[in-house]
Amino acid sequence: MITKFKEIWGKTDDIILRYPMVLTTALIAAISAVVAIEIDHQDNQFLVTKLAFAGCLGISLMFGIKMLSQRIGKGLLLEILGAAFLVWFYFYLPDSEKQFTEVNGFVIFALVILSHLFVSFSGFLNKKPELNFWQFNKNLFINIFLTAVFTGVLVLGVVLAILAVDKLFDFNFNNNLYPKTILFLAILGSTFIFLIFNDKGIFQLEKDGNYPQILKFFTQFVLIPLLLIYVTILYFYAGKILINWELPRGWVSYLILIYSVVGILALLLVHPLKEESAKSWVKVFSKIFYYTLIPLLVLLFVAIFTRILEYGYTEPRYFVLLLAIWLTTVVFYFIFYKKATIKFVPISLFIFGVFALIFPYVNAFSTAKRSQKTELQQILTKNQLLEKGKINFEKAIQDSVATEVANKFQFLNERKQQAFLLNFIPKTHLSKFKKILEKERYMVNSEMRISFQNIIKSKEVNAYKSDYQGVFSNKRNYDIQNYEKLIVFSNTDIQNEEQLDDYILKTKPIKDAYIFSGYIIDLESPTKVTQSYDLTPFLKKQLEKDNADQLITPIEEISTEFDLHQYHFKVYFSEIINDKDNKKDNISLRDMIILVKKK
C-alpha cells in the first residue's frame, strides 16, 4: 500500500511540474466557480463568473499549447501568449450579468470549440505521419471518456460521503456545500485525472497501439449502420420535396449537419481499418460517404437560403451557412485530392471558425448586424410606418408586423446599435426609449409592441386569445424608500432562494410536469419554521384585466404586499402570462422584483 501511494504521489509530482499552466487555469476556474456560488446575487458575482469562464477556456488552450511546445519548444513564450489571450477574454466579457448578451454566449461557445480543435492538431502542424495524428486523437478520445467515468465516480462518492456525515452526525451543512463540491471536483478533479491519463503528453499519446475492440464494435455495428438508416430517411425526404415541389423545412439543415459531422467522425474512427479486413458496409460507407453528401448539400443550401432570404442573417444562420461551406470544402477535398489527409478536417474547421469570429466586415457579428438593419428598414418602409424617417406609432399595423419590428429592435439593441435605432423614434417617445435601450434592454421587445396604438390582430391571434391571457406593467421606477433590500428573480420557472439575515426566502412554482398553475413565496426561519404566501389568487385577479382585443394588455402597475414572520414584502411583476394548455392554467412570470423591510 505504501509503495502504491508513493507511486501515485510521484506521478502527481510529475503532473504538477509538467502541466503547471493547465492546472493553474483549472484551479482558478474551480475556485472562481465556488466563490460565485458563495456570493450569489451580489453585484460582483459576475466578475468571479467571468474568471471561471476564462479559467475553463484556459484548460483546453493551455493543454494544446503544451502539446505544441513539446513538439517545437518555446514553451514559455507560447504560455505567455496563451495567458495574454485569457486576460483579453476576461476583459472582453461584460462586467455584469445584465450586460451579458447572446453575442457573448456565441463567442464563448465558438472559442470553446476552437480551443478543443486546436488541441487535436497543435502538435501535428509539421509533416508527422498521419497514423501518429490518428493515434494521438484516438487516445485523447479514450482518455476523455475515462476521465468522465472516473470524475463521475469521484464526485458521486464525495457528495454521498458529505451527505452521510451531514445526516448521521447532524452537522446541518449549508445546501451550497453540495454544488460547490460538485463544481470544484468536476473542474479541478477532472483536469487532474485527465492529465494523469495523458502523463508524458504528445510522445505517449501518438504511440502506435492496438485498435480498441469496443471502439471497433461500436463504429462497425452501431454508428455506421445508424448513419446508413439516417441518410436513407434524408434521401426519402429529398424525394418528397422534389415530388411535391416544395421548399424544405428549416430544421432539415440541422439534420443534414448532424449526419455530415457524425459521418465524418465515424470515418475518422475507422480510418486505420479501411485497408484492413472489415465488415462490407464499413468499406462501402467509407467509399460512398462523401458522394452521398453532394445531393444533401444542395438541399442544405436551399434550406439555409430560404431562411436567410426571408428573415436575413443572424449569427446562428451565419454559422450554419459557414458549416455548409466548410462541409462542401471537405467533400470536394476528399473526392478530388488524391493525397488527402485527415488532418485537413480539424485544421480547416479551425480556420473557418477563426474567420467567423475576427475577419473584418464579413465576420458573423458584423454580417448579422448589417443584415438585420436592412431587414428593419425594409419592414418599416414596406408597411409605410415611417413619417419623415420616424415611426408613426398611431398608424394601424398588423400584429405580426409589430412583433417583427419589436424583435428586430431587441436584436439590434443587444448588439449595441442604440444610435441607429433611436433614429427611428419620434421625439414624443425619445426619452422613454433612450432609457430603455440603454438601461433596460430586457424590456425593449415588450415596450416596442405596446407603443403601437393600433394593432390589428390576425385571425390566428383571435383564435389563440381564447386560451391566452397576458398583462404587462408600464411601471419602470420602483419606490424603494423605507425598504431595506431589493431582490430580483428573472427566472421564475425554477425555485429561487435568497438569504435574508438568518432567514431563507424561497419562490416556488406550483407545477405539474411543464404546466405552471401558480406560485408560492416561502420564508424559512432559523428554527426551520416556514410561513408561506400563495401568489396564485393575486396573479389570476390581475389576468382578469386582460383586454381581449390585445395580445398582451398594458396596465399601470402589478404589485402586491404581505407579511411573513418579522418582514414586510412588496412584490412587483413586469409581466404575467396565462397560456392555457388544454384549458388548464399555465401561468408564467417575468422579473419578480421583491422589496423587503422589517415590520
Q: How confident is the model over 462-478, as pLDDT tens digits?
A: 444 456 778 878 676 77
- What pLDDT digit, counting tens, does each position of 124-157 carry? 987 778 888 999 999 999 899 999 999 999 999 9
What confidence score (pLDDT) does residue 465 get?
47
Task: Tell me what the mean pLDDT of segment 388-412 comes to.
Answer: 89
Long-range CB contacts for residues 508-514, cutoff 8 Å, separation at least 24: 510/536
DSSP state string for 235-293: HHHHHHHHHHT-PPPTTHHHHHHHHHHHHHHHHHHTGGGTTS---HHHHHHHHHHHHHH
Confidence band of 4 (pLDDT split at 50, 70, 90): very low
What confidence score (pLDDT) does residue 513 get?
63
Query: Which residues lie below 8 Å from residue 105, measured CB to CB, with a gap of 6+?
Result: none
Task: Tell me what the mean pLDDT of segment 247-254 comes to.
Answer: 74
DSSP state letter for 41: T
pLDDT above 70 for 3: no
Average pLDDT of the chain is: 86
State how far the Cα of 579 lies from the Cα of 533, in Å rounded to an integer: 23
What confidence score (pLDDT) does residue 43 get?
63
Residue that wins the pLDDT comparison between 414 and 454 = 414
Confidence band of 394 (pLDDT split at 50, 70, 90): confident
Confidence band of 508 (pLDDT split at 50, 70, 90): confident
What confidence score (pLDDT) does residue 464 get?
45
Residue that wins the pLDDT comparison between 333 and 545 = 333
Task: Tell me what the mean pLDDT of segment 109-120 comes to.
Answer: 96
Confidence band of 510 (pLDDT split at 50, 70, 90): confident
Residue that wins the pLDDT comparison between 192 and 548 = 192
- What pLDDT digit, counting tens, does each position of 421-470 carry? 999 999 988 888 888 888 777 778 777 877 887 877 665 544 444 567 78
- What pLDDT digit, counting tens, does each position of 13-35 carry? 788 889 999 999 999 999 999 99
Confidence band of 171 (pLDDT split at 50, 70, 90): confident
Element (H, E) at 521: strand 515-524
Collapse the DSSP code of 454 into the 3-class scheme (helix H, G, I; strand E, B; otherwise coil) and give the result. strand
Q: In this structure, what C-alpha cell is assigned to residue 63? A: 493543454
What confidence score (pLDDT) does residue 364 get?
96
Residue that wins the pLDDT comparison between 547 and 93 = 93
Tell me which range, 38-47, 284-293, 296-305, 552-561, is most confidently predicted by mean pLDDT: 296-305
- What pLDDT digit, counting tens, does each position of 255-301 carry? 889 889 888 988 888 787 765 555 556 677 778 899 999 999 998 99
- What pLDDT digit, counting tens, does each position of 60-93 carry? 999 999 999 999 989 999 999 999 999 999 999 9
What confidence score (pLDDT) does residue 548 get?
63
State how far the Cα of 438 lies from the Cα of 149, in Å rounded to an integer: 46
Which of 233, 183, 201 shows the shortest CA–CA distance to 70? 201
State how far the Cα of 131 lies from the Cα of 123, in Å rounded to an integer: 13
Confidence band of 381 (pLDDT split at 50, 70, 90): very high
Confidence band of 399 (pLDDT split at 50, 70, 90): confident
Confidence band of 247 (pLDDT split at 50, 70, 90): low
What confidence score (pLDDT) does residue 103 get?
93
User: Range with the lowest mean pLDDT among 5-9, 19-23, 195-199, 262-266?
Assistant: 5-9
What confidence score (pLDDT) does residue 546 get?
75
CB atoms within 10 A of CB 9: 10
Task: Tell me what the mean pLDDT of segment 474-491 comes to.
Answer: 80
Task: Tell me what the mean pLDDT of segment 529-548 comes to.
Answer: 88
- Look up cell 424559512; give the residue: 524
What confidence score (pLDDT) does residue 249 get?
66
State how far the Cα of 124 lies from the Cα of 130, in Å rounded to an integer: 9
- Kindly tell me the sign of the dihedral angle through the C-alpha atoms of 434, 438, 444, 450: negative
